[in-house]
Chain A
Amino acid sequence: MREQVRSTGTTTARDGVRVAGLRKSYGTVPVLHGVDLAVTEGELTAVLGRSGCGKTTLLRLVAGFDRPDAGTVVVGGREVAGPGTFLPPEDRRIGYVTQDGNLFPHLTVAANIVFGLPLRDRRARRRVPELLELVGLDEGYARRYPHELSGGQQQRIALARALAPEPGIVLLDEPFSSLDVELRESTRRAVVAALAAAGTTTILVTHDQSEALSLASRVAVMRDGKIVQADRPADLYHNPVDGAVAAFVGAVVALPATVTDGGATCALGRVPVADGSPDGPATVLIRPEQITIDIVGSGVSAEVLEIEFYGHDVLVRLALDEGSTVTARCPGFAFPTVGDVVGLTVRGPAGLHAPRAG
């Protein structure tokens, strides 16, 4: 996980993009039901959601390929879409990278990169070496055609092309999902490094939670055409607003609990929760890596049901004496075997969400 060093203080940072009350329907099918999202200038914000949740539609409205039915889009302090306003995409200075890159097949890499520059700069092939370097490719690629490149190289060129006119904002629409795993890692690194070097405000749309958590400064989870939570990755992971968000961003153990005095009592014993949590019945959300397994048996007693070995870590399914099952994650070099009776302890604070209002 990337260290979260940058300040996300809401009073000092400016909004690169601010979306308010955005609604959009296609025919009779509503896709966006009032989306609110603020994207801090110079940061990478991920919009995370399953396919069909409306995240691509949101991106298209920000880019200006479609008009919203209601709501406003403000880019760099300027309203670009809203009641009575609509700035066409070519005047928004927003870079756009699609899932397949969509390089212009009739143009060389260099011509693709300079496509968005004024004619004189296009002739001079200005910025080509610099941008190729930015995305981590050497100058030899300039004369190639898109079909001579691998998928990862195409995506890097697509980013270089989007960055060439020095846009204030770059939108990435699942840019890594059509790449294979190995290429995906290296392309991600190259793209994020290039974006950070250019200091560009970025919105990354993805359905891959680890991608969103590891690359973004902020992650906005989208569900059924709405943003349900927007937070720093660590806050999102540890304090999800509800069980569905919790489960969407990672494996989770949900246990019924009773909250009293800043702690929750559940089948795994007493677990600290956030200050100010109201007393009463609730559900605690514990991440498997918070549960430590003690082979000697101190803590809450449980029997090992199943082991999934991943190399770097191991997922252990356990049955508690009182009947419920939980999942713990432990390091790949020390783990119990099926049938062992072990002791469980919870480390760190747990997330919490109240049961249905009653």
Chain B
Amino acid sequence: MIPIVEAGGTRRLRYPPLRLGAAVAVGVLTLVPLGYVVVGALGVGWDGIVALVWRPRVGELLVNTVSLTVLGMAAAAMLGTAAAWLVERTDLPGRGMWTGLMAAPLAVPAFVNSFAWYSVSPSVQGLWAAVLVTTLSYYPLVYLPVAAVLRGVDPAFEEMSRALGNGPWKTFLRVVMPQLRPALLGGVLLVGLHLLAEFGALQSLRFATFTTAIYDQFQSTFNGSAATMLAGVLVLLCLFLLVGELRLAGRVRTARVGGGAARALVMHRLGGVRVPALAGMALLVVLALGVPLGSIAFWLATSTSTAFPIAALAATTATSLGLGAAGALVTVVLAVPVAWLAVRHGGRLSRLVERSTYIGSSLPGIVVALALITVAVTVVPALYQSTAMLLTAYAVLFMPRAMVSVRTALGQVPPELDDVARSLGVGPRGVLVRVTLPLILRGLGSGASLVFLAVVTELTSTLLLAPIGTRTLATQFWSNSSEIKYGAAAPYALLMVVISAPVAYLLTRESRRT
């Protein structure tokens, strides 16, 4: 069917002012940390910047950070895509079980994962250890969106390609990959940004990147200009990633065109590679889940410092749950106008706003924290040391997690539904409440779950921003494990996993249904 080309693409250029205003406000909020870095750099001046940045130490950090990011992104992309393909498009036995297990590493924070490896064998450190641990922790960020797309693709395209003489591999590269591209690039971008911002896991594996160096710098001297300059270099790396993804992804319409229900997918037969495929999946689960859980169990059972202070554990858990729920709510609510603008009003301004929300998360939590502290102290002193401030930091840090889900969900709502609803006498607000929100509710839910997971396991900015007396599972785990009280740290790690696991499970179940 020939689409209505006469109107396509260009017809929705007018920005509705109210929603635009909300989106721009969110964009500006997420730019506060970047502004802090820029203002800091301006304060130091050009000579100061050269003196602080042009050092062998910075070169070393650059090599470390870039190697880790490139290797980690590549490994996560391959692992995530391969696993998603095996689970979603082949006759691999135990599909339901694998779906749950593949996303489960999201429930194990990277710094718990690293703890599991180094506490058992202190020789696990350096670049390869860092790549191993972060890949095992972050590959679900690629797996989930890619699996969701693979489930939704119309098999007709693949059949058409096969009929045109392309073998299965060629078909995968020429037909399936282009469809996966937005999801894959989005997932890989997220992995890259996480790697640039990772602190806990790398610190404990003694692998120095810009982020750990900035932390150390702030800890040793309160005068932050050296750290601010390091953050500046980190921001440049992040911008490089964002621009790269923008170039590669281009403009792709993800909404399914045409009515009726899609046909059921045809599963590829694994045949002779079934056993190696099963073995590979099992190995992945052992490394990503078995090692951390086993290690926690080992320390719980054997460590002399193991203790179960029930009241403290309960209070800490309640704090983490509350902060997680509130953080998820705030972040998703802020993500909606930006995602809506990006999906429905593709244009330079909306892309700018959307991209700006990614910048906050690519900065290390400590820079976000200090930027917010600086702004609060000078503009709204009441916010200093408040929970609201902590939630704002979470929103800035985890906006992309919500954004990816909300954007995808919105992209699947054909704009024609708005037109139809309007023609039935429903105003713009009614359309939002009665059409758009119900259709993207699942997307909002999975976005909120992702943010919840992130908040419950967030370490760096919580350490710095939490009001005095606010202790979370992550901060308690960190202080115990830093003091090599592995047994005392283990219950907190276990609780984080226990809280995160059902959410990770729900998430995969929800994403299966779309």
Contacts and interface: CB of A to CB of B under 8 A. Distances in A.
B421 A115 contact: yes
A105 B424 contact: no
Contact of B425 (A27, A31, A54, A91): A91
Contacts of B427: 88, 90
A272 interface: no
Contacts of B346: none
Contact of A177 (B1, B421, B430, B434): B1
Interface in A95-119: 95-96, 98-102, 104-106, 115-116
A106 B47 CA distance: 60
B11 interface: yes
Contacts of B4: 51, 56, 99
B261 interface: yes
Interface string B1-35: 11011110011000000000000000000000000
A333 interface: no
Given A102-B414, A104-B435, A52 B423 contact: no
B419 A101 contact: no
B246 interface: no
Interface string A29-65: 1010000000000000000000111101100100111
B416 interface: yes
Nearest to A161: B424
B259 A100 contact: yes
Interface in B282-321: none
Interface centre among A53, A116, A178 (most CB of B within 10 A): A116
Contacts of B10: 26-27, 29
B162 interface: no
Contacts of B5: 51-52
Interface residues of A, number: 47
Given A93-B425, A102-B416, A115-B424, A60 B259 contact: no
Contacts of B425: 90-91, 93, 116, 165
Interface residues of B, number: 29
Given A27-B10, A52-B6, A57-B6, A151 B422 contact: no
Nearest to B438: A106
A135 B467 CA distance: 64
Contacts of A171: 423
A154 interface: yes
A27 B426 CA distance: 28
A71 interface: no
A134 B420 CA distance: 20
A259 interface: no
B417 interface: yes
A56 B7 contact: yes
Contacts of B435: 104
Interface in B406-432: 414, 416-417, 419-427, 430
Nearest to B422: A89
Contact of B6 (A56, A95, A106, A158): A56
B426 A151 contact: no
A161 B22 CA distance: 33
Given A106-B439, A162-B424, A178 B419 contact: no
Given A66-B11, A105-B439, A178-B1, A54 B6 contact: yes
B260 interface: yes
Interface string A58-96: 001001111000000000000000000000111111111
A64 B422 contact: yes
Contacts of A98: 416, 419-420
B94 interface: no
Interface string B254-274: 000011110000000000000
Contacts of A167: 423
Interface in A11-33: 26-27, 29, 31
B434 to A, nearest CB: 7
Contacts of A116: 424-426
A147 interface: yes
Contacts of A90: 422-427, 430
B201 to A, nearest CB: 40
B7 A26 contact: yes
Contact of A89 (B261, B416, B423): B423
Contact of B259 (A51, A64, A104, A154): A154
Interface centre among B11, B419, B422, B424 (most CB of A within 10 A): B424
A89 B422 CA distance: 6
A316 B426 CA distance: 55
A178 B3 CA distance: 11
A336 B4 CA distance: 43
Nearest to B434: A115
Interface centre among A29, A89, A93 (most CB of B within 10 A): A89
A154 B258 CA distance: 12
Contacts of A106: 438-439
B258 A100 contact: yes
Nearest to A145: B261
A147 B261 contact: yes
Nearest to A55: B6
A116 B435 CA distance: 12
Contacts of A115: 421, 424, 426, 434
Contact of B416 (A66, A100, A154, A178): A100
B347 to A, nearest CB: 12
Nearest to A94: B423
A106 B414 CA distance: 13
A102 B422 contact: no
A16 B3 CA distance: 29
Contacts of A154: 259-260
B260 A151 contact: yes
Interface centre among A63, A104, A147 (most CB of B within 10 A): A104
Interface centre among A27, A54, A63, A98 (most CB of B within 10 A): A98
A195 B427 CA distance: 25
Contacts of B1: 99, 177-178
B149 to A, nearest CB: 18
A102 B425 CA distance: 16
Contacts of A164: 424
A119 to B, nearest CB: 10
Contact of B258 (A29, A31, A161, A178): A178
A132 B303 CA distance: 71
Nearest to A64: B422
A200 to B, nearest CB: 13
A165 B426 CA distance: 11
Contacts of B420: 96, 98, 102, 104, 158, 161
Contacts of B261: 147
A206 B10 CA distance: 22
A349 to B, nearest CB: 36
A145 to B, nearest CB: 10
A210 B420 CA distance: 27
A90 B427 CA distance: 6
A100 B414 CA distance: 11
Given A26-B10, A27-B10, A52-B5, A96 B258 contact: no
3 tightest A-B contacts by CB?
A: A116-B424, A96-B423, A100-B259
15 contacts: A31-B7, A51-B6, A64-B422, A65-B422, A66-B11, A90-B427, A98-B419, A102-B414, A104-B417, A104-B420, A115-B434, A147-B260, A151-B259, A177-B1, A178-B259
Given A90-B427, A91-B425, A100-B258, 5 more contacts: A51-B5, A54-B6, A60-B419, A93-B425, A178-B259
Interface of B: 1-2, 4-7, 10-11, 258-261, 414, 416-417, 419-427, 430, 434-435, 438-439
